[in-house]
Each structure stands twice: as C-alpha cells, then as structure tokens.
Chain A
Amino acid sequence: MSDGPRQLTLAEWDGRFVRGEMAGHPQPSYGGPPGRHLKDGDLRLGKLLYDDSPAALDLWNFLLTEEDRLRRDRAMGRKIVGAMKDLGTVPVMAYSLPGVTAFYPDGAWWTPCLMEFSSGVLGVADALGVDESFCPVRAMLGAFAAGSHFPAPDLLVCSVGATCDDFSAIAQRVNGLGHPVLWWEIPHRRRPEAGEESVPLPGGFACPREQVAFVQSELVRVKSAVEGLAGELLTEEGLRAGIREANRVRSILRELRRMVFTAEVCPLPALELLIAEMLAIHFCSDRAESWKVLSSLLAVVRGRVERGKGYFGRNAVKVFWINPVADLRAMNLLEQCGGRICGTDYMFCHALDGIPGDLPPMEALARMALADPMVGSARERAARICDDIALFGAEAVVISRIQGASHCAMEGEILSGMIGAATGLPVVELEVPPVCDAVLPSLRTRLRALIETAGGRRKS
C-alpha cells in the first residue's frame, strides 16, 4: 500500500471533516469543509478531483471565500480597487497602502464554470448584447450588471492598448453601466531600434527606454488615483516595501513551480498548481494570507519530493500548458489521460517574475507591466515558452484556445508553429468551454493522442 497522496472527491473531503480527521489541522478563519461551497452554488466542485493535503484545502477555501472576504473588507472600511486586465501590476501598488484591497473583477471569468452556468451572469451579458461570440470574460460584465458577485469597487482601473479586444470592449461596456473606469495605456512592447536605449525586463524581454518611461507615467496616474482613494500618499519606501512583499509571494510560487515541474513524480496536481499561480496576480485579496497558504503548500510539496511521493507515476508525460482553461475540469482530464503539468503560461508569467528591487519602484512596476507576455509579439511569447520547455523538460505542449477570444485566432497558429519547429515536440490546440462536459470525449481523445505521441517518442 502506497503512503503517497491520493486525489479526493469533494464528498471524500467532507467525509474527513465529518469523521473528525481534520481536528488536528488548525483551520483558518475561512476554513471548513469544502462541500459548503457546492451548497452555495459552486456546482462544478462536485466534479473535480483534489489534492488531499490540508494545505491544498486551505488553498481552495481561501480562493472560494474571496467574495466574502471582500465584503468583510468593505464592511471594515477598507477601500477596494478593482484592477482589470494588467494581471499583476496595479495590486502590487494598491496593497502597498495599508487600507486598500485590490482584486480582479476579471476573475468572474471562472464563474460560469464554477457555478455551471447557474449564476446567470452570462444571461445578463447576453441581454446586454455581449453574446457567446465573446470570450468568457463577458461574465465580468454580467457580474457588474447583476451586482451580486463582488462588491462594487471604489476605484476601477483598466489597462488598455496592447490588450485583447474582447476585454477592452467589455470593460468599455462596464464603464457604460455606471462604473467609471480609469484607463491606463500599456503599449505594444517592441524591440529597441537602432539608437534607442534597450531596457531589460523581467522574464528576459527587452524594450526601449521610451516605453518604460511612458508606462511609468501612466502608472503614476493610477498611483495618484489610489492615493486619492486611500486618503494618503504612497511613499517610495512604502512602495518598495510592497514590492518586497509581492516578491516574497512570487518567490514561493517560483520555487513551487520548479519543484512540481522537475520532480521525478508529480508532487502536486495541475489544478492546485493553477490555483496557486493565480494567487500571484492579486493575492486573492489578502496578501499576508496568500503568503501563508502558499508557504504551507510549498512545505507539502517539498516533503513529497523528499520522500519521492506523488501522483500519476513516473511515466506520466510532461506537458507544457499554454493559456488558462475556462473549465477547471480540463486540468484533471489531462492527468487522467496520462499527463502531468511541467510548465505553464497562463497569460500572467510576468506576475511570477521577481520585480526588480534595485530600481526606483515606479520604474520597476513599469518594467514588470511591460514584461506581460500578452503585450508583446506572439513570437516573443513563444520564445519564452520554448526556454521554459527546455528548462523543465516538457515532452508535449497543449495550447488551450479560449472560446471567442480575439487573440487566439491569430496567436494559436503562431505559437503552435514556432514552438513545434523550435522544440520538435508534439503540440495540440484545444478549445475548452466554461463547462466542457459536452466536449469531454473529444478533449479526451485529443489529449490521449498527444500523450501517446509523446510517450512513443520516448521509446524511439
């Protein structure tokens, strides 16, 4: 009998609580049996498989109580900033002020999945003329209109420019619903030209000095708005401290990813790693707690790696996954097909990179914003992915297309062609809808074919 971890169903997790098996694990304020979230309407949870560690349970409870915690913060008088699209930059600034909480309304992206369409947010978006031809982020418009999924932010900011059309269009509609948006520009990152000073960015990209200065000036506008909201100035030292705290979280995540991707046996399933990575972008509305949650998870992973314990056996095919999935179940599916995650680009790699600590802090944030893989060329994004594939030893690549997303139509083919040519690895493109049950057989077939192909290459 193996003493390794075993994935649990939601009912099995709840059973542990009923039998008192969790008594020895101190529960955080948001802790409890996970089945309560299903009763609250997160129906998809009943169809997922979970890591069996208490640390993973804390991770899930932390994620699924975010809405409640935001409302609690509002009740306590904290100011709430809704950051949209930049995925990792504005929250670093916002959390540097003591009375401010920041979150991404973009997170409503997963609401149709988690609630298996029962939330009604897509219906509201439909009624507003934003139909299924748009990316699932249209759920955010429905959530704003319904006013029931997160507290209305005191300040709403959105990066535009080199961003996907769906998001820009939907954020404009949010603005039209009476939620004024502070727009800030993120230009298309370009390579320095002859005679221009080249500035290195986190993640290995570079851009001209002029672009860094421009983005810095845009972020200064955001900073002024956040300061106005908070009623106090954000000092350079305060922002430096905020960056240090953000980097603490990011360094845990980088270590977590390194251990998970390089371990001989997979020490943490893909789903929990995806959720953990998401904490990087806005700390799931509580920076200090996100550090604790991730530290515990890292300790679990470290212990498993040291003991050589994990999931899916030693022969699981190592897969690099590109873009987030609209249905979390797809991550379970990959593993059921014989794969394991060994590298990811969920469109926010820049939120995992360390923010330069040796620069004036606003410049450091500007450089980070420009390091977003989505604001540059798809070729640069592909190059970074190829580097990570080489680093972590992935054997196959999945490009997860996002239903209706404007960038995927052009980008998917470029990524697929470049990565395939540069690495020689098998690549498949999938499209995962918010609830993928209806297309599960086709997804399974495609994933199995990929895994078989990659497995076959090992033998040869």
Chain B
Amino acid sequence: MKLWRIPFLTRKRKPNRPDFNNSANSEPRNAGTNNAASHQKEPQPSEGSYSDVSTDVATNVRRIQGILGDSSDIVVRKISDPATGLDKVAFVYIDDIVDQQTINQMLLQPLMTEIGEQEKSSSAADWFHILKNRVVSIGHIVELQALGDAVAELLGGSTLIFLQDSTVALAASTSGGEKRSVEEPTSQTVTRGPKESFTEGIKTNLSLIRRRIKSPNLRVEYKQIGKQTQTNIGIVYMKGIVNDKVVEEVRLRLDRIDTDSILESGYIEEFIQDAAITPFPTIENTERPDAVCGGILEGQVAIVVDGTPFVLLAPVTFIRFFQSSEDYYQRYDIATFLRLIRYTSFFVSMLLPGLFIAISTFHQEMLPTPLLISLAAQREGVPFPAIIEGLMMEITFEVLREAGVRMPRVIGSAISIVGALVLGQAAVQAGLVSAAMVIVVSFTAISNFVIPALNMAIAARLIRFSLMILGGTFGLFGIMSGLMVLLIHMVSLRSFGISYLTPISPFVWSNWKDLFVRVPHWMMKKRPLPFASNNVSRLGDRQKPTPPKPKS
C-alpha cells in the first residue's frame, strides 16, 4: 500500500474528468443493492457534468455521451410527436449488453402504439405517467434523479428513458447479450448426480440454486464490488439454519474490499480468507449447483460472483474438501470406501516420494531384505542421489501436467507419448532414474487426482516438495518434523471462526457420521454442528426403512 503514497501516483485527478463510479456508489440506488460503504469516504467531485438529471433531454444525452467519451456503442433513439404533446423522449442504451428484442417489443413498440392511440395533447407530467404505467412493459424499472446513477444503470445493461421537462429518468432493465448455456461440469464430474454446472451469469447461477431450494428462507443479498468492474456479488444463505454471525462476518469482509476489479471468485477468496499465508484453502469453491445447495442446507454461506462459474462456500473445514457430492448419491457403503480411498490418496500424494527418499537414503534397514536388494540393483547405474532423482522426476511431471493444461487440445496425444514413453521408459533404460522412482512418482501423481477439490490437491502438491527435501536431508526425522509443523499450522487455522480440523479437533462426535464413514441419510439426523447454529435437526423420527410387519 505504501506505493500509493508516492506523490506522482496520487496526483489529484483532473477536475473535469468525470468520476461517475464514485458517485454511483455513494448513494444507494434501490433497495436491492447495498453498496460498499468504503467508497463514501472519498470526496465527491462537484462538477456539474453528472450531477442531476436535467429537464432538457438533449443536455442529458450530451452529458452521458460526455461521461462515456462518445463511445461508439451507445445508441440514442429520440422520439417526438408534437401533436400529442410528447415533446421529446430519448432512449439510451449500450448496444452490446442489451437484449435488442426486449427494447423493441417492450419499450419502442408500446410507445408507438400509445402515441397512435392518444387523442388529445398531454402535458409532460401526464406523459411521464403514461410512460411509466402504460408503456414500459418491463418488470424491473428504477426512477433516477442523479445522472451518475443513470450511467451506472446504463453500464449494467439498462435502457435509460429521458423525458423532456422531467427531472426523473427511468431505467428499464433490458440486459442481455451473448451467454454460455448451462453445461456439464468440467472440473468436478460425477457418475451419478445432476449434470448441470454453473455458468458465467450470476442470474443463471442463482436460478440454478433457487430451483433446487424452494424455501422462503433462502436469502440472496446483492453487492457490487470493484471500482471499475462493478461486479455483482450475491450472498446466498438459508435464514434460520445459517449462523447469523457468519453471515455478518461475510458481509463485513466483503464490504472491506476496496479494489479495482473482481474478475473471478478467486479475487474475492483472497480478500476475505482467514489466513493469508497457508497452503491450505480456507474457502471452498465449486461449479456444481447441487454441492452449493448441500452446503447452504448445512449452514454454509455461498458467494456467487458474476462472471465465473465457480461459487465460493464458507466457512469450510478440512474434511469438506474430501467430500464429493456424489458421496450422497451413491450407496453409503461404497461412499465410505471411496472416502477412505481419498484420504489415503491425499496422504500418499503428500508423503510417498518423501518417505521413499527418506527410507531408501537413511533407513534401509526398514525394508524387507529382498526388496532392498532389488531396489539397490535398480539404483546401481543411477548417478544421482535419491533426492535429486526424485526432485527431477517430480518437476518433470509437473512440467508435463502444466503442458497438458496449457497446450492446444489438438496436440494432446503428442504430449502423452513423449511423457509416457520418452520420459518414463527411456529414462529408466538410459539409467538416469530408477524404475522404482518412476513408479513412486507416477502413483503419487495419480493419487493427487483423486482428491475432489482441486485447491486441496494443489496444497498437497506443494507440501510434497518440501517433504521430499526434508526427507532427503533428515530422513524420517525430517518428515516427522515437517508433519508436526503442518499439524500445528492446521490446528491453528480457522475459517470464519470455525476451527479447520473441526470434527477431529475440537472433537465433535456427531459430525463423525460424515467424516470417514458416510452413514445412510436416515441416520444423519442433525446438521453438522459448528456450521448450523439453529434448526439443527433435519430429519423426522423413525426414518429408517423397515419392511411392513407381517399381519398375523
């Protein structure tokens, strides 16, 4: 932040440059929108260019064009019909972000019809009344008096309607434009369960949530964050289930954000997470509506960000990253088994190379003799110590993985051939690495993909490298030290006031039903405790399925 104190950078803005965003933020525009209060502290520029809506339509249009710098995509449609007393009315919108059809059918056409039906000349006040009540056939309209607000609405996709001799402008919500349709999730796939995924539009995303939870207690709060991007953020939670303090804390942290741009929910995540320096994610993200609904129903707060399919969920505990939504759709026995596999994979992907290096370098006596001999034989021609060998292979794999993500899809097969054959088999045959190390690294890599949450998998990847170095320098002692530090760190972590390792420490027995074992739904009588503060019970009595008793 020191940077901003440099005089060169904090030079006063030119007085005639409009700063409509500040103005737009400084007054609440309608009940549904709470603006970041932090913007209010900035002094309001006082030049007349965007003060109030003027009575003269031409002036208003000129001012708006001035504010937007005569951008070519602004469309102004002026209509006047002196015979009916309609002096002048102007429709202003930005071509790219409106739905042209809506404007034509809901604004222009009704007006034309209305003009045609008018028999006598009406005053400006009458016309305003007619416009508002008989012409504009759109659900969401706002009356505006400040030009700055009008510009903000315009940029949000509304159409502004100015009437001569009226100091009130109307903004009709006509937002549209090209959007991606709802598709299958690409990053969190399931074999059984809904195949819908969030998209980039916040409206679509909220509709996906609303459609699943038809409860009056589902609450949505809008905020706008980002001085330039004015990104819409939706806070979604279940009133009566969620802990109100958590919602309050989420609001507080979101209001504190003072930034230029929010382009993805990752921006929000970094601004509001609890611990800044940690490899572990303290906020969950998902692109699955069913996962979000599940979270909301257990007392989490969802943060939907416009422009990204990834919705944030907070607070979150460590174990939530190992629960896939599919666990609740498959039978509980297999779900339990898969969960155990996931925990094991997490530890394998974190520990295995480190342990292998440590044991093969420092504690060979732990290995059964035949295995030791075979390992030693493999390593015979390898010129590097195990730690270098391991790091080399791991980095090679990371390069392959990154290449797999970045490269064009067309040449994907080339990478797999090069990766599998050249780097794996050939490296062993050339005596650069031992076959055992290739196996270890590959298994580690595959284990890493088992973890359902990508951000937790990334944490394991990073920790793996430090554990390898520790194992290569201090053996098992090094690994134990590393794990101890990790444990202390994880115990100290919190997510919105909830301890990160919650059901394990502090020990909450009732949450163990959904930890290693996923018990059948009829046994999960209570919501997980630390999230849900009230309305804890979620099941009726006697939900266990029993066959009807035979009539005797």
Q: Do A and B bind each other?
A: no
